[in-house]
Amino acid sequence: MKLALIRDSEIYNKKLLGLMLRDRIRKSLEKSGFVVKFFNDNLSLDEAEAYLIINEPVLFLERDLQFEGEKILVSDDFTVGYLFERDFKDLFVRDPQSAIEKYVAMNNIKKLEVRALKLSEDNLKLAEKLLLSSLIKSHDGIVSRLLNRRISLRISKILAERNVTPNQISFFSFFLSILGSALFLLDTYLATLIAGIIIQLHSIIDGCDGEIARLKFMESKYGAWLDGVLDRYADFITVFCITYSLAQANSIYWIVGFFAAFASFMIAYTGDKFVATYGRAYSDSSRLSIPITRDVRLFIIFLGAIFNCLFFSLILIALLGNAESLRRILSLRNVTPSIGLPPGTVRGG
């Protein structure tokens, strides 16, 4: 058992973005395998294989706390806590502070930087801001980064206070996509314009399910799976409706639409199949990689709707998406060493 001992504080009773600060630190540490115990003045120490002692009120801002060995956890400007091994118990009488000092003096313990905030009554607004921006994913597409996240985080801030589950958001976002797509079937510019706006709104809200899941410790495997699967349905239905609408005038658009739908799919598939086989997130820092992620594709459709040139959006998605998919086939070939497969990986199917 790994034991986390947290000195209790009044401030832990405050709610931040839908969750008490006490629950935030508890769930953060439980996620990384600790049994969490709050203490006040007196503390009796259970037997454990590792002890994490946190004396100051803290909000962790990292998604995955990976603690190992013996460490002094530090943030920019304060000591977050101490991670000791089992022989810390021998030094302990009643007061953690003196035991900590003795233990640190006896052992050569390394420092580990963690992203955390020392909580006080004055900086709860800052805490909220930092917590929200910790939800941004490092590999967000360019439209996500510059536009969607700025809005979706504001929406998530409101949703966090309410009893909304990530999967409910996924389905609502999916519904928006269907609604927008259906409007593309109507043959007026006004309908197309509204459709485009709804699709872009869908693209923004599509970030909220993940944000709420991370923010309120509601992540689930099914949720992550469903999120990807519904995105594929949404992509398909949107491209299909645009294609159907354009093809009434000229059936060549069926071909363009086919390739645009395929391109949309392959960008997602090559990434997800990478996770399935390599067992880690797909990321590509190549200068040659074409930024045609989902946020960008939907933005291209949004622009196409505004300027009433959706045929151009389809062509662009078909060309850029297929080019990027081919590029990935070639670039992965060179980069990757040939080593064993992780369990569950299957060739074929």
Give residues 235-254 in contact with its own copies (rule: CB under 8 A).
236, 240, 243-244, 247, 251, 254
Label residues 242-262 b or e (16+ Cβ within 10 Å = b): bbebbeeeeeebeebbebbbb
In angstroms, what is the minimal distance from the CB of 114 to its own copies? 18
In angstroms, what is the minimal distance from the CB of 164 to its own copies? 15
Binding map of its own copies across residues 196-215, x = CB under 8 A, - = no contact? ----------xx-xx--xx-
Count residues binding its own copies (CB under 8 A): 74
68 is a contact residue toward its own copies (CB under 8 A): no
2-7 and 50-54 as β-strands: parallel, antiparallel, unpaired? parallel
171 is a contact residue toward its own copies (CB under 8 A): no
Question: Which residues contact residue 330 at a Cβ distance below 8 angstroms, ignoring those fewer than 6 apart?
Answer: none
Whichever of 55 and 277 has its CB closer to its own copies, that residue is 277
Distance between CA 208 and CA 167 in Å, rounded? 10
> Token pair for residue 37?
């115990």
Structure-token match 């070639």, residue found: 330
Count the Cβ atoms, other than its own, within 10 Å of residue 66.
9
- The identity of residue 98, as a single letter, is S
Whichever of 13 and 286 has its CB closer to its own copies, that residue is 286
- Residue 113: which H helix or E strand, with range? strand 110-113
In angstroms, what is the minimal distance from the CB of 119 to its own copies? 25
List binders of its own copies among 27-46 (CB under 8 A): 31
Bridge partners of 79? 74
Binding map of its own copies across residues 259-288, x = CB under 8 A, - = no contact? --xx--xx-xxxxxxxxxxxxxx-------
229 is a contact residue toward its own copies (CB under 8 A): yes
Whichever of 158 and 281 has its CB closer to its own copies, that residue is 281
Q: State residue 8 phi and psi, 5-degree precision.
A: -70, 160
List binders of its own copies among 301-340 (CB under 8 A): 325, 328-329, 332-333, 336, 338-340
Helix (H, G, I), strand (E, B) or coil at 278: helix
List binders of its own copies among 135-154 (CB under 8 A): 137, 139
232 is a contact residue toward its own copies (CB under 8 A): yes
294 is a contact residue toward its own copies (CB under 8 A): yes
Residues 86-93: contacts with CB within 8 Å, 24+ apart? 86/47, 86/48, 86/49, 86/50, 86/51, 88/51, 89/45, 89/47, 89/48, 89/51, 92/45
List binders of its own copies among 91-130 (CB under 8 A): none
Instruction: Answer yes or no: are the C-beta atoms of 139 and 271 closer than 8 Å.
Output: no
In angstroms, what is the minimal distance from the CB of 305 to its own copies? 20
Whichever of 124 and 247 has its CB closer to its own copies, that residue is 247
In angstroms, what is the minimal distance from the CB of 324 to its own copies? 12
Return the range that interacts with its own copies (CB under 8 A); candidates 34-42, 73-81, 89-97, 231-239. Answer: 231-239
> Token pair for residue 61?
């801002």
Whichever of 70 and 235 has its CB closer to its own copies, that residue is 235
Whichever of 7 and 328 has its CB closer to its own copies, that residue is 328
Distance between CA 167 and CA 47 in Å, rounded? 40
Distance between CA 208 and CA 343 in Å, rounded? 32
In angstroms, what is the minimal distance from the CB of 251 to its own copies? 6
Instruction: Answer yes or no: are the C-beta atoms of 328 and 270 closer than 8 Å.
Output: yes
Whichever of 254 and 307 has its CB closer to its own copies, that residue is 254
